[in-house]
Amino acid sequence: MKNPPMFPAAPPAFNRFETEALLQRNTLGIIMGGGAGTRLFPLTKDRAKPAVPLAGKYRLVDIPISNCINSGVRQVYVLTQFNSASLNRHISRAYKFDLFSNGFVEILAAQQTASGVEWYQGTADAVRQNLKNFTQGKYEYFLILSGDQLYRMDFRKFLAKHIQSGAEITIATIPVDGKRASSFGLMQTNAAGRILNFVEKPKTPEALKPLEMPAEILRELKLPENEPRYEANMGIYVFNRQTLIEALDNDMADFGKHIIPEAIKKCRVHSYPFQGYWEDIGTIGSFFEANLDLCSVVPAFNFFDSQAPIFTHARFLPATKINGGHIHHALLSDGCILTEATIERSILGVRTVVEGNSIIKESVIMGADYYAGATNCPTDRPPPGIGKGCKIERTIVDKNVHVGDGVVITPRGKPETFDGPDGMFYIRDGIIVIPKNTVIPPGTWI
């Protein structure tokens, strides 16, 4: 494949402002909304995976969008097909650019057209079905991102490395040790960072040996050379314009499984080793642990970085009100009301109400979309909130849930996976999940 016209050599030739201008003019962000999100069920029962609440006041999709905005990528599409109403609503409220900017964040949902009636069959197929929309603009680079990962990356550095190497495709990778390597697709690279081979989740030491990172790259990244490291695919790609068009001129469904292995044989494909926190939030277990880690004194992911903030919908709620109680290592979002409650290593989402003498430990309470008595509060069910004298541990309570007085929720003595009666609760990865809008009667034991 032929490279498009190249810009001057990357840093130090590009300063920060030139790189940002390059991103704004020539780069399109494409965020993959994912499929049905079955591994995050029941959080994805009524919403798209990128719309799942995160860290009390955010949504998963806020992470890649914020990374784009902070890096100067102001033109972004989000591809989705399942339960996209709440995602549409969130994006339309949160991401509005001024009249003097050509920036946008827009949803592209799967749709029937004259050229096809099928839903997205995979990540590559999703981009293929929308390729006409993407290529209408004069974009030279396409930044393809996952919608369910927690990380902070400066895409200016990513793109600069892509241009500097003369690559047609650059894949963001994260160095992992031998214990984690078999869980990822791994890249075999040479000393210059060019990818020579791709192996999906190798299991044996013999298969891992040829995939070890070269000593030259380990030294460049200041990683110890006495322990093998492997470059794991993060599902983050930069494609040159013509390369993407040609790579999708087939019926292959997925980037990681199909497009990338084929492209390595024909194109200049390079890696961009990323050093920093990165978590693939694809299961209830990983979602739960990533949230609880934010309660640590020094969490692995920093939401307090003022240089690269995470953006979301501004709700203009009042400050949280605490009427006594004990709070240890917790995140309290805007507009909460707590009365003599004990909160330990937990996250309380916006508008969470906790009544007297309730105890919440190692749990994620996602809050509510309204207060009791508000005009948008349903009148046919009790208002959302945690009642008096409740005990909740290792539980995810989705939005707008009413928990009656004296309710006890704990996974102790229960199986790792279980579906409760009438959909009142589910257990996944040993974590109890209470679905959105559920009403739990007083005195219930789960």
pLDDT in tens, 100-128: 788 899 988 876 555 554 677 888 999 99
How far apart CA 141 and CA 135 sit, in angstroms, is: 10
Domain 321-440 has CATH 3.30.70.980: no
Indicate if the alpha-carbon torsion angle 244, 249, 250, 253 is positive or negative: positive
Q: What are the φ/ψ torsions at residue 252 (nearest 5 degrees)? A: -65, 140
Q: Which two tokens stand for residue 217?
A: 């790259």
Segment holding 241, helix H or strand E: helix 241-247
The C-alpha angle 108, 110, 114, rounded to 5 degrees, equals 110
Separation between Cα atoms, residue 360 and residue 391, nearest integer Å: 6
Rounded to whole angstroms, the Cα distance separating 355 from 390 reads 9
Strands 337-344 and 353-354: parallel
pLDDT digits (tens, 9 = 90+) for 348-368: 999 999 999 999 999 999 999
Question: Which of helix, strand or coil describes residue 77?
Answer: strand
Whole-angstrom distance, CA of residue 348 vs CA of residue 226: 43
Residue 106 Rama label (left phi>0; alpha psi -120 to 50; beta):
beta
Query: What pLDDT score was predicted for residue 264?
Result: 94
Structure-block tokens of residue 317: 């709620």
The dihedral formed by the CA atoms of 406, 409, 413 and 416, expressed in degrees to the nearest 10: 160
Dump strand ranges (E) for 241-345.
269-273, 278-280, 321-328, 331-332, 337-344
pLDDT at 110: 74
59, containing H or E segment: strand 58-59
The answer, yes or no, to whether residue 375 has pLDDT greater than 80, is yes
What is the average pLDDT value for the chain, to the nearest integer?
A: 90
- Residue 282 confidence (pLDDT) above 90: no
- The pLDDT value recorded for residue 11 is 43
Fold assignment, 16-293: Spore Coat Polysaccharide Biosynthesis Protein SpsA; Chain A (3.90.550)
Kindly list the domain boundaries of the chain, sorted by start residue: 16-293, 321-440
At 9-58, the pLDDT tens digits run 444 455 555 656 666 679 999 999 876 678 899 999 988 889 999 999 99
Contact 244, 123 (CB under 8 A): no
Tokens 């109403």 found at: 85
- Quote the percentage of the chain above a pLDDT of 90: 72
Token couple for 360: 């919440």
| Stated pTM of the model | 0.91
What pLDDT, on the 0 to 100 scale, is given for residue 4? 45
